[in-house]
């Protein structure tokens, strides 16, 4: 573990927790003012067939009739943004498991494509949905990137994650992935490293499988869990050994970089220009759906995490936004520094265009600290990440998303009774055969 790891994490944990504090209730029920340029649209589909114990996303168990009502509200909210002047360039559908109801998803994709010409459409799915007929439907709907949540090919780890029964064992997942190759411009596989109980040989085996499959893109995240979900996760999965995080990351770079290029510190692509969901190359993005975040004109927005409240608001003609927070100039500079360097470099020309010389003055402590620990290199045209810097940025980004997960955890705590009731009803419906996914 590099010497700076603990102090760095302690410092950024405080900074991100402050930055993510949504103190203001949103004044307007309507969408914020539309930016001049087309932006990225994120749609949140919070339904899953099983709830993995490590997961801190906003998700509930799939319940077919309620899921359909939600998708209907989601489409209304998209139209509301369009009527408010928003135009979309890229679409990302995440969750949850967006493909849990394929008909609803396809109707939603068709709506967005009809409103704005899209450059990319990225959707997340799970291995059990990789059926040939479903893959063909998504391809015909314009999907350019299919991202499959695999996490590991190790049967023991899949069992601990409660994923093996529903999504299949490692061999079955690999077979399904092999059948999905070549259908979309980008087939991405999401993996996790430094899982509780994961050893270096287990990671090596996962890397062997990935290299055999030769998919277009691999995203390898460290485990990120909200503080509120950590004890539950540790009870069912055990505790991860933090000392293995850096050697594991180094091993991932050693094995993947000869064949892939680093699209970001944790995303490895075969081709240049492949989309990485965590690279923010546009200034603004809009999140629609319950528990989605937006960043428009320097203000962060959050929609309500209550699915009932969300549907009622949108059915009544409002957006799902219930909270907002205006970021100060220094916070926006820091956000830029974090997000853009995650992609490997921050060009001086872009800094000057966006912030002028003030950027170098106001962020002088951060710039000096990162350079001093050997995380960045200051070239004539750009600030660039070093190899150690890539690991550093994995830590920073993981801490940032942990802060986001903490916000999710706090917001979900307020509506825990509603979520519990929803999950219970969905279980009963599934037992009665009502909630069978349509893929």
Sites of contact with ligand SF4 (CB under 6 A): 48, 51-52, 55, 57, 59, 95-97, 126, 149
Q: How far is the CB of 427 from ligand SF4 (least distance, A)?
A: 14
What would you report as the CA-atom Rg of the chain, rounded to the nearest whole angstrom? 21
Burial tier of 120 (Cβ tally within 10 Å: 0-12, 13-18, 19+): middle
The Cα–Cα gap between 294 and 282 comes to 12
Nearer to ligand SF4, 55 or 177 (CB): 55
Ranges of beta strands (E only) in 5-71 are 24-25, 39-45, 47-48, 60-61
State which residue, 338 or 397, has the beta carbon closest to ligand SF4: 397
Rounded least distance, CB 234 to ligand SF4, Å: 16
Nearer to ligand SF4, 121 or 229 (CB): 229
Question: Which residue's CB is nearer to ligand SF4, number 97 or number 323?
Answer: 97
**89 backbone φψ class: left, alpha, beta (φ>0; ψ -120 to 50):** alpha
- Residue closest to ligand SF4 when measured from CB atoms: 55
| Nearer CB in complex with ligand SF4: 52/395 | 52
CB nearer to ligand SF4: pick between 108 and 152: 152
Minimal distance in Å, beta carbon 260 to ligand SF4? Answer: 23
Closest distance of CB 52 from ligand SF4, Å = 3
Shortest separation between residue 417's beta carbon and ligand SF4, angstroms: 20
First-to-last C-alpha distance (Å) of the chain: 44
**Least Cβ distance, residue 53 to ligand SF4 (angstroms):** 9
Q: Which C-beta is closer to ligand SF4: that of 291 or that of 344?
A: 291
Q: Would you state the structure tokens that stand for residue 121, as one six-digit string?
A: 């459409």
CA distance 267 to 274: 10
CB of 160 to ligand SF4, least distance (A): 13
Lookup: tokens for 149: 């949540």
User: What is the distance between the alpha carbons of residues 63 and 427, in angstroms, rounded to a whole number?
Assistant: 8
Tell me the pairing of strands 88-95 and 39-45: parallel
Q: How far apart are CA 45 and CA 47, in angstroms?
A: 6
Cα–Cα distance measured from residue 189 to residue 121, given in angstroms and rounded to the nearest whole number: 16
């Amino acid at each position: 573990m590099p010497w700076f790891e603990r102090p760095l994490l302690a410092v950024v944990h405080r900074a991100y927790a402050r930055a993510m504090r949504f103190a203001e209730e949103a004044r307007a029920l309507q969408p914020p003012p539309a930016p001049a340029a087309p932006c990225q649209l994120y749609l949140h589909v919070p339904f899953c067939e099983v709830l993995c114990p490590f997961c801190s996303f906003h998700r509930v168990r799939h319940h077919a009739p309620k899921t359909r009502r939600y998708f209907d509200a989601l489409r209304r909210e998209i139209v509301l943004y369009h009527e408010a002047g928003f135009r979309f360039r890229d679409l990302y559908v995440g969750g949850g498991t967006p493909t849990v109801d394929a008909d609803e998803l396809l109707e939603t994709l068709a709506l967005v494509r009809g409103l704005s010409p899209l450059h990319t459409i990225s959707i997340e799915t799970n291995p059990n949905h990789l059926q040939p007929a479903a893959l063909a439907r998504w391809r015909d709907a314009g999907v350019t990137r299919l991202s499959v949540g695999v996490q590991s090919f190790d049967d023991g780890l899949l069992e601990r994650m409660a994923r093996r029964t529903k999504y299949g064992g490692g061999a079955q997942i690999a077979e399904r992935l092999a059948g999905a190759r070549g259908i979309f411009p980008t087939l991405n596989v999401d993996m996790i490293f430094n899982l509780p109980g994961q050893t270096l040989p287990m990671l090596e085996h996962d890397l062997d499988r990935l290299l055999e499959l030769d998919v277009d893109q691999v995203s390898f995240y460290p485990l990120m869990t909200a503080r509120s979900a950590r004890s539950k996760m540790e009870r069912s999965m055990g505790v991860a050994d933090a000392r293995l995080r850096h050697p594991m990351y180094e091993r991932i770079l050693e094995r993947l970089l000869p064949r892939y290029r680093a699209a970001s510190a944790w995303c490895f692509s075969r081709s240049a220009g492949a989309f990485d969901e965590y690279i923010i190359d546009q200034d603004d993005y809009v999140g629609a759906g319950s528990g989605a975040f937006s960043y428009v004109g320097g203000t962060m927005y959050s929609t309500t995490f209550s699915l009932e409240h969300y549907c009622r608001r949108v059915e009544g003609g409002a957006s799902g936004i219930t909270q907002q927070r205006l970021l100060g100039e220094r916070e926006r500079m820091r956000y830029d520094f974090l997000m853009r360097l995650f992609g490997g470099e921050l060009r001086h020309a872009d800094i000057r265009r966006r912030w002028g010389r003030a950027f170098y003055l106001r962020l002088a402590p951060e710039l000096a600290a990162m350079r001093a620990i050997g995380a960045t290199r200051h070239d004539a045209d750009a600030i660039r990440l070093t190899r150690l810097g890539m690991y550093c940025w994995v830590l920073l980004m993981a801490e940032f998303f942990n802060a986001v997960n903490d916000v999710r955890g706090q917001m979900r705590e307020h509506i825990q009774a509603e979520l519990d009731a929803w999950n219970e009803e969905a279980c009963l419906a599934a037992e009665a055969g009502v909630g069978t996914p349509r893929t």
